[in-house]
Amino acid sequence: MIIYTSLALIVLLTSYVAYFTYQRRHKLTCMTGMMIAMTNSMMLSISLGAILGTFIENKDITIPTIASVILGMTVGYLTGRSVSLMAALDGLTAGIMGGMMGSMLGVMLQPASVDFMIYFIDIIFVLVIMFLLRLIDEESKEKNTETSQFRKPLIANPIMLVVLLAFLGTMVVGKGLIFPAKSEASGQIEPVKFTPASNNIQDIAVTSRGYTPNNIVVEAGKTATINFKPEKGSSCLQTIRSEGLGISAKLKEGSDNYINIKDLKPGTYEYACGMGMYKGTITVK
């Protein structure tokens, strides 16, 4: 699964940056150490928060935020402490900021774009780490009195080769998982169609304050059509998700959005907006 390959890539490269910084700690200035610790911590916490946020049920931001902030602070401190206490403090604060931003991004993503966004995060992460390692390498070298007329290309650096090989290997392992083939829709709910499938239509107004009514009752064993009618500017309420109902759809503003339900067993099914802030229920009797 792509989440595991991405996490492995992040842990591998983040750990290598911390180790590489420790190896050259005596040749790095405090300012350089601050930049290294901040970048390493920020990239880890943003990437980790975004990935965890996309895979947390009910889109609760608590767990991905706490996990990414704690790990980001830890990495920032360990990376910067080998250079100076000031660098360690910079890494700590960067971990807090990155974890919050990353987890917020993760819970806001639409299901259809999750794999693409994780792939994009992996690419950005690798590029930043490549330049960070190059920075450590250059800043820790003694300055020569004479500068060579020709500079080695970035790819000629052995460190860069290691990074590229790690990235390419991860992508090969994850081939076919980044953009998995779409499977046929399954479950008790039909694919979203903007046409009613029955005469039993129940309207739900979608406003900036939530769903009205936020609970409706349908009869078990019979087809019912729920019509979501979002007003303009309803932000995350324009997306509706429900694991129990098999719904994941983008609603059109200012128009009818018919979702057909049939053959549901008696019980209460919950649905929510894209960020999980506003919720409603459908009771089947």
How many helices, marked H, and strands, marked E, lie in the chain? 6, 9
Q: Is the pLDDT of residue 157 over 70?
A: no
Q: Residue 109: inside a domain, yes or no? A: yes
Give 3-state DSSP helix, strand, coil % of the chain, rounded to 5: 55, 15, 30
Tell how strand 210-212 and strand 201-207 pair up. Answer: antiparallel
Query: 13: which residues sit within 8 A by CB, 6+ positions away?
Result: 125, 126, 129, 163, 166
Q: Is residue 192 part of a domain?
A: no
* Pairing verdict, β 267-273 and 279-284: antiparallel
Q: What is the pLDDT of residues 135-155, one digit of tens each?
A: 998 888 754 444 444 455 454
Positive or negative: CA dihedral 167, 168, 170, 174: positive
The confidence band for 182, taking pLDDT boundaries of 50, 70 and 90, is very low
Say if 166 falls within a structural domain.
Answer: yes
In the three-class reduction of DSSP (H, G, I as helix; E, B as strand; rest coil), residue 96 is classed as helix
CB atoms within 10 A of CB 249: 18
More confident residue, 16 or 200: 16
CA max distance for the chain: 85
Which one has a higher pLDDT value, 191 or 243?
A: 243
Domain that holds residue 168: 2-142+154-173
Residue 276, pLDDT > 80, answer no
In a domain, 147, yes or no: no
**Are residues 231 and 99 located together in one domain of the fold?**
no
The pLDDT of residue 165 is 59
163 and 211 fall within a common domain:
no
Number of folded domains in the chain? 2
Same domain, 24 and 87: yes
Q: Report the pLDDT averaged over residues 52-72.
A: 80
